[in-house]
Amino acid sequence: MPGLIPESLQKKLSERLSYYQDLGINHFYRDRTSAIPSSAELLTEFSAGPTGSIAISNEELTLPKPSRAPQLLKSIPISSEISKTVPLPVLAGPSLFESLDRIVDDTLLKVRSDLGDCTRCKLHSMRHTIVFGDGNPKAELVFVGEGPGADEDAQGLPFVGRAGKLLTQMIEAMGLQRKDVYICNVVKCRPPENRLPEEDEVKTCSPFLFRQIDVIAPKVIVCLGAVAAKTLLQTNRGISQFRGQWLEYRGRKLMATYHPAYLLRNPNAKGEVWKDLQKVMAVLGLQPKKGKPA
Ligand code: SF4
């Protein structure tokens, strides 16, 4: 049917617009020039993971006519349907550059402020406190867990229960203190009965995690457990397939290891985690203070 784009592309466009809204960007500029993004830029943008950049926002999203990018259109298979005009909602508001400024000038305070008294997902109804994150806003090392537990929900701080105490020991064994690192979770509200966060909850809350990481700009991210690793790496692979290997999240080094709660149930795995943390220490130039955690 004329004017339609493939369903998969529509879905990606819809997800991308939701992502911008979660970033606090609610206005999209109206194109006043002929500077239409190239089809390569559009396709890259749609197919990439979250990048924090803004590529499209128009009264009408129009892909270039073949005469504008003949080489491109030869090399990239574009359905003739895509090259038609796709109507988007007409939104008045600040320019693209004002929105970009907002990203460039982002701070943890702004991220927290945008999160507000969040009711974006169903976890809000069961929480006592939003657990945003804690630690050094300029940390070289960020730990990401999956979500708050009962103690965290009560205190509003991440990793303060039994698993948190173990994490603190691990951090100190690395020659650091908790105040030197930043600790946060994928979801900011406690899942009931300490269940794993569900897909929709992760999808809704994770843009705030992405922003936190962008603002802090750490050298190394340590994912504690599968939920954090899968969220940042956008993978469904089991953590055992990549635990202990250096990976990358948006240009930053990422190490996935076991969650401290897992270590409480499986103390034999502590040695594996310590090996992972030693790799992190090597990159950060840290010397252990107390040997491996108890
Ligand atoms: S988990 Fe995140 S998205 Fe869901 S209500 Fe809490 S803060 Fe909002």
Q: Which residues line ligand 1 (CB under 6 A)?
A: 115, 118-121, 123-124, 130, 187-189, 201, 204-205
Q: Which atom of ligand 1 is nearest to the CA of 121?
A: 4
pLDDT (0 to 100) of residue 89: 34
Nearest CA to ligand 1 atom 2: 205
* Threshold 0.85, pTM exceeds: no
Per-residue burial over 237-267, b if 16 or more Cβ lie within 10 Å, else e, is eebeebbbeebebeebbbbbbbbbbbbeeee
Give the lowest-confidence range in 2-6, 213-217, 239-243: 2-6
pLDDT (0 to 100) of residue 105: 76
pLDDT (0 to 100) of residue 167: 98
Round the average pLDDT of the chain to a whole number and report it: 78
Does pLDDT of 211 surpass 70?
A: yes
pLDDT (0 to 100) of residue 9: 72
Give the lowest-confidence range in 52-61, 106-115, 131-140, 226-235: 52-61
List the end-to-end C-alpha distance of the chain, in Å, as a whole number. 65
Which distant-in-sequence residues (6+ apart) come within 8 Å of 92 by Cβ? 27, 30
pLDDT (0 to 100) of residue 37: 44
pLDDT (0 to 100) of residue 103: 53
pLDDT tens digits, one per residue of 14-26:
766 665 565 555 5
Does pLDDT of 80 surpass 60?
A: no
Give the lowest-confidence range in 49-63, 154-168, 214-228: 49-63
Compute the distance between CA of residue 21 and CA of residue 177 in angstroms, rounded to an integer. Answer: 35
Task: Kindly indicate the confidence band of residue 294, based on its pLDDT and cuts at 50, 70 and 90.
Answer: low
Nearest CA to ligand 1 atom 8: 118
From 115, 123, 208, 227, mutation site for ligand 1 pocket: most ligand atoms within 8 A of C-beta:
123
pLDDT (0 to 100) of residue 99: 47
pLDDT tens digits, one per residue of 25-67:
555 544 443 344 444 443 444 344 444 333 333 333 333 333 3
| Range 87-96 average pLDDT | 38
- What is the Cα Rg of the chain in Å? 21
DSSP state of 270: H
pLDDT (0 to 100) of residue 39: 42
Asked whether the beta carbons of 184 and 144 are under 8 A apart, the reply is yes
pLDDT (0 to 100) of residue 59: 33
Cα 194 to ligand 1 centroid, rounded to whole Å: 15
Burial of 133 (0-12, 13-18, 19+ CB in 10 A): buried
| Range 199-221 average pLDDT | 98
